Structure 1
Amino acid sequence: MCPPTPAIPSREGRPSIASVKGPPPTRSYQNLPTLAKWKADTLPGREANSPTRHATEPVLRSIDGMLMDLNNETENDGNYLFILGQLFFATMSWLNLYKRNKRMPPECRPPVLSLNLFAANDLARVLRCSLDNLAGTLQELYGVNMSEHGVNQDRDPTISAQYRSAKQRMRYRVYIFDGVAMRNERRKLWKIDTGVDNSTCGNRKGELFVLSMSNELYVGMPHKHSFFMGGIPVQTAGTVEFGKGKLVAIKNDSGHYQPVDLSLVKALQYFRIHGMNINDVKVSTVRFKNNRGAGDASTTGAEFMRSHGNWEAIFKKAPHQMFRK
């Protein structure tokens, strides 16, 4: 484990991008690029007459905002590390999408890969760990471990035997193309419609989901959230509803992981980065407590993001918000 540090060391001390294994990308960002340079480097994915524009532009536009924020932050500000982590996951999302979507412009891959490598190197520098240990450190910072309830349940060998292998979990992998969630069935991509595919999961409406530490989305009904990733930490988990590929509702009701409300922000950011409209999505929580008791609450995706996942702030702004004991 890399110890937290109160002061961020100089940029001079960070590992060089050249130290990353494998051939160097076409463009190497030795320093954080300006927004103007980044836009120029990724122009093929932005041109109005490009047939690939709608496939790649939402992710690039999200990265634009992160670069603008990072260039305005001082390194000793706590926001710098948070935004840098989001930049790392966003560039990873683009690269993951590129592997599947033939419409993604190949000219954009070198600058996106270079920015991903810059983010990885800078995270290692800030966190004072090696690149080899970065994945484990990010898992500790951003990951959600299984709860005591989940660990105890999965001690039963008949349950842990149902953990999916890397190959088996691919049947649950979801890809988002042009703002539409799709899954690969019989070697064809189909829009997800949980109301048609699987209307309920136990007493839940919709299907289970996890967002992995590799920023990959898995959706389905393997009975328990731990089955997707074999019980290892994830970014968040819960239940999700899709209608013809569009996000309808999301909830953090995973008993195995029991993520905090704020973890739903990660999921909504993931969907927004991939071009989904989250403003009217129904966001729900369980185990909510305030002076009126305990129960479930819900709001819109727009309000949830504005309030940074803080339910107390949401209730102060909208006391009429639904609350069910």
Structure 2
Amino acid sequence: MPENQAPKIQNKETVNSSCKVLMSATSFKNSTKLTMTLTGKSRSNEKLLKFIDAKLTYINKVQEKDVNAKLGPDALLVLAELYYALDRWLVLAGRNDSSVNSRRSKGVNGLFAQVVKLLSYQLETPINRLPNWLQDNFTVGMTDHGYEVDYQKKSALYYKPKDREMYRLKITNGVVYQKQWWVSKESTTWVKMNSEFTQSTGSKNTISNKHCGYALSVVGDFYSGPHLSGTTYKETGQYHSSYMGGKPVLCAGEIEVVEGKIKHLNTGSGHYGPAKGYLLNVINALTLCGVDPTSYKVNYHGCKTAYTGAKMLEKIEKEEKKVGGDDVSHHKSKIAAKYNNGVLGRLKDKMKKIEDQLAVIAHFSTSDHVDGVKKVSGSRRAICDVCRKANLDTQHQQNNYRKRNSKALQLEYEKLEKLVARIK
């Protein structure tokens, strides 16, 4: 780098310490260049680095106008995508994955640290709270059905990090590989994936024909294995939630793979129930692994028409977003629409759910509920409107609902109320 550029870079690094701007795309490229590559693989061949370069260039252009200004919703979206891309690169480098050159780690680590600081500054959120913001806006948590199966019926098997590695997929140059877990749980052999075979190993599959379940973790790893119904209180079921231990994911659903080639995927997951916007995470993740988005079909739950990955990406990004609607409150594209309105929509949605829960809990002690319950064939069955709307048709379901901590729910509601007031 020419000596006359040094003072400018130094000044920029000084500004970085105040968490206002990132290093330039040129500086990042220079920090991740190597004088000699042992594998012969140049920097330009790393798809993930090219993706990072593009996102960084975008942020640089935005910040050139005013380094002190707060980023708009589009830039916030790109900055968050940059965070995930850098995090993904570092994960791959830690595994010595051939798709990245770990000798560039110092430069990537430096930019990652800056992105974390800038996100904290822009969101006025302490760094240790950033994971919560990212989780709320980019990931999908379990549905009520998921909680019922996993925590009430306790039929889900949760894998520990070491054990779930057996079901992690590897995607190289667009081809999907899996370990031979059906041969041995200690297998290290990678073979081309066939979803129909994966499905056929189970006896009680609820997955679509020729498909198997998948889950996309927050660090961009795909997991897949047989989808099996478990036994109540035995923790033997293998569901979408099994791989990440019930934690939020970037997406989950069903996938069809033939000899390593992806044919079709969707958002069909009862445990997570992701809205169509979460397909953005899947399509982007596959593209960075070398999977051509025009080579496979995609559809979301409730949509019979399947589009190519590229067409679905275009469709989702262009459609109009409505605050408070399903798409706004359940996927990251709400940030690109209007950050504040999107967050408000999500917070109000959570508040409404808590209000409904508190109303049902309070209802149990009223005469309306007592008078609305009668004995039918020796069991107790709810016939009052409130219980019917809450899908609490049996005494057992009502008793479980009564156990919910109303005080904790009220505190959570008040916390959300304060956040709404702050955003407004």
Pairwise TM-score range, normalised by the shorter structure: 0.7 to 0.9
Query: How big is the shift at 1:146?
Result: 0.9
Cα distance change of structure 1 residues 179 and 127 upon mapping to structure 2, 3 Å threshold? same
| DSSP-derived class of the 1:240 partner | strand
CA drift at 1:231: 1.5
User: Conserved in 2, the CA contact under 8 Å of 1:14 and 1:125?
Assistant: no
Higher helix share: 2
Of 143, 149, 164 in structure 1, the residue corresponding to residue 145 of structure 2 is 149
Aligned to 1:278, the other structure's residue is in SS state coil
Which residue in 2 is equivalent to 1:38? 28
Q: Secondary structure at the match of 2:140?
A: coil
Residue 297 (structure 1) aligned with residue 305 (structure 2): yes
3-state SS, counterpart of residue 290 of structure 2: coil
One of 22, 32, 40 as aligned partner of 1:51: 40
Q: TM-score, normalised by structure 1?
A: 0.76
In the TM superposition, what is the alpha-carbon distance from 1:158 to its structure 2 partner? 3.8
Identify unmatched segments of 5+ residues in structure 1: 1-10, 18-29, 289-295, 314-325
Contact 1:238 1:252 survives alignment (8 Å): yes
- Give yes or no for the alignment of 1:63 onto 2:52: yes
- Contact kept, 8 Å, 1:199 with 1:206, in 2: the verdict is no
Q: CA deviation at 1:197?
A: 4.0
Quick check: which one's strand share is greater?
1
Rg bigger for which structure? 2
Shift of 1:144: 0.7
What does residue 163 of structure 1 align with?
158
Q: Would you say the 8 A contact 1:44–1:105 is kept in 2? A: no
Q: Secondary structure at the match of 1:110?
A: helix
CA distance in 1, matches of 2:61, 2:253: 34
Is the Cα contact below 8 Å between 2:207 and 2:213 reproduced in 1?
A: no
Deviates more, 1:241-250 or 1:164-173: 241-250
Pair 1:309–1:283, CA change in 2 (3 A)? farther
* Distance apart, 1:51 and its partner CA: 3.0
Shift of 1:281: 1.4
Structure 1 residue 42: Cα displacement: 2.5
Distance 1:13 1:113, change over 3 A: closer
The verdict on how the C-alpha distance between 1:94 and 1:213 changes in structure 2, with shifts beyond 3 A counting, is: same
Distance (Å, rounded) in 1 between the aligned partners of 2:74 and 2:265: 26
Provide closer, same or farther for how the CA distance between residues 308 and 219 of structure 1 changes in structure 2, counting only shifts above 3 A: same
Match of 1:173 among 168, 171, 182: 168
Residue 100 of structure 1 and its aligned partner are, at CA, apart by 2.5
2:129 to 130, 133, 139: 133
For 1:76 and 1:31, locate their aligned partners in 2 and report how far apart those are by CA, in whole Å.
11
Q: Does 1:273 align with 2:288?
A: yes
CA shift, 1:128, in A, is: 1.8
1:293 equivalent in structure 2: none
Q: Which residue of 2 aligns with 1:318?
A: none
Find the aligned partners of 1:276 and 1:81 in 2 and give their Cα distance.
26
- Give the letter for the 2:49 counterpart: L
In structure 1, C-alpha distance between the alignment counterparts of 2:191 and 2:54, rounded to whole Å: 31
Deviation at residue 15 of structure 1 after TM alignment? 7.2
- Gapped runs of 5+ residues in structure 2? 1-12, 64-69, 181-186, 229-238, 322-424
Contact 2:212 2:255 (8 Å CA) reproduced: yes
Per the alignment, in what secondary structure is the counterpart of residue 40 of structure 2? coil
Partner of 2:206: 202
Q: 1:274 to 1:41 in 2, by over 3 A?
A: farther
Identify if the C-alpha distance between structure 1 residues 285 and 133 changes in structure 2 by more than 3 Å, giving closer, same or farther.
same
**How many Å apart are 1:183 and its aligned residue?**
3.0
Contact 1:247 1:278 in 2 (8 A): no
Structural RMSD (CA): 3.2
Q: Between the two proteins, what is the percent identity of the paired residues?
A: 26
Corresponding residue SS for 1:229: coil
TM-score normalised per structure 2:
0.59
Summarize deviations over 1:34-88 as a string: whole Å, max 9, x none. Answer: 22222233334998x9533499611111112111221223543211111011001
Determine helix, strand or coil for the equivalent of 1:64: helix
Q: How many residues align?
A: 282
The residue type paired with residue 91 of structure 1 is L
Which residue of the other structure, out of 87, 93, 97, is the alignment partner of 1:98?
93
- What's the counterpart of residue 239 of structure 1? 254
SS of the aligned residue for 2:46 comes to helix
Does the C-alpha gap of structure 1 residues 207 and 45 become closer, same or farther in structure 2, counting only changes over 3 Å?
farther
Q: Distance in 2 between matches of 1:306 and 1:247?
A: 19
Contact in 1 for aligned 2:256/2:265 (Cα 8 Å):
yes
1:78 aligns with 2:73: yes
1:183 partnered with 2:170:
no
Q: What amino acid is aligned across from residue 100 of structure 1 in structure 2?
A: R
